[in-house]
Amino acid sequence: MPLITDRQRKWLIAAAIGTVALAAAALPFQQPPTSAQTNAGSASGTLSSGEELYKQHCLSCHAADGAGRGSNPALTTERFKKKYGTFEEAYGYISTEMPQNAPATLRNEDYEAIVNYVLSLNGIPTELSDIEAHWARDSILALHRKRAVDGYIEDGKLLYKPEQNITRAELITYLVKAKQLFLSNGSGPDITDIAKSPYKTYIATSIEYGIVDGYPDSTFRPDQEITRSEIAAILTRSEALDTSGQDGGTAAAFGDVEGHWAEGLIYAAVRAELFDGYDDGTFRPDRPITRAEAAAVIARVSP
């Protein structure tokens, strides 16, 4: 019986996860939310519930304003902000060290609410402020609640920047997080330009899973904008889709993908309803994709 390599094992796990995710019906690529969807899922209650949980479990040790009491550390100092200024960093500390008398005893969702509240005490925004009326709002929020996507802090606000084109590194990072893949300890074989990238671990992970490759010159080009054809290829590999056909099973062949390096991969993604073409019968394989469009696609394959 042939041995299965670690990379093959990881790829098989990823494929199994993707198969389960694809069992759910996919939405059209850019379907605006209904009024019910627009009004649903608001995160406005997060801070209030976080405040209530903080008062119940943390007030006696850290004071109402997070200034700390006795030997219990303050949660609102510049030192705290520097060390735990992101959700991931703050969650890592709070979920293992608090409450002081019984650390690591609360539910994950309770810790998440407390973390958001503590970050708000430090003036760090935790809710995306630029997607409320956006067509991809629900997909973005779903991924943000899972900590699969992040945003930009500008002028005291947390922005997703949905219409900004997404980079190769950002897309891969969001996909790896959304699919909850086991992270790699490696650096990505023969890739020469990711050593200093903050996305290095996620890029190396995606390469190990066989989801993405670098370029022939041994670069990954993490800051380069990613195209529709590249994402189609990545999703086809991550979901282990059948690429044996071309336009079979789609409504019509696209007029601009024949002979394209990703032709079979594009049709596989379209057959799986992960992508749509345009009304003029084109796919526009080399067009960059926005952060909103990326969120919509990733949400469809997220378990």
- Interatomic CA distance for residues 234 and 26, integer angstroms: 17
pLDDT bin (cut points 50, 70, 90) of residue 303 is confident
Cα–Cα distances in angstroms (integers) from residue 234 to residues 141, 172, 258, in the given order? 22, 9, 19
φ and ψ at 157, to 5 degrees? -120, 150
Residue 54 has a pLDDT of 93
Residue 6 has a pLDDT of 53
Region 134-156 average pLDDT: 93
pLDDT at residue 12 above 50?
A: no
Residue 252 has a pLDDT of 59
Q: Which residue has the higher pLDDT, 190 or 12?
A: 190
Residue 7 has a pLDDT of 53
What residues form DSSP beta bridges with 154?
A: 157
140, 162 contact by CB (below 8 A):
yes
For residue 159, with 0-12 CB atoms within 10 Å meaning exposed, 13-18 middle and 19 or more buried, which class applies? middle
Range from 8-17, 104-113, 210-219, 220-229 carrying the lowest mean pLDDT: 8-17
pTM value is 0.74
Domains and CATH numbers, the chain: 6-35+164-301 (no CATH), 46-121 (1.10.760.10)
Using one digit for the tens of pLDDT, what is the confidence trace for 266-280?
999 999 999 888 989
Q: Tell me what the pLDDT averaged over the chain comes to.
A: 83
Record the tokens describing residue 289, joined without a space: 């994709």
Give me the residue label for tokens 């995160």. 43
Using one digit for the tens of pLDDT, what is the confidence trace for 74-84?
999 999 999 99
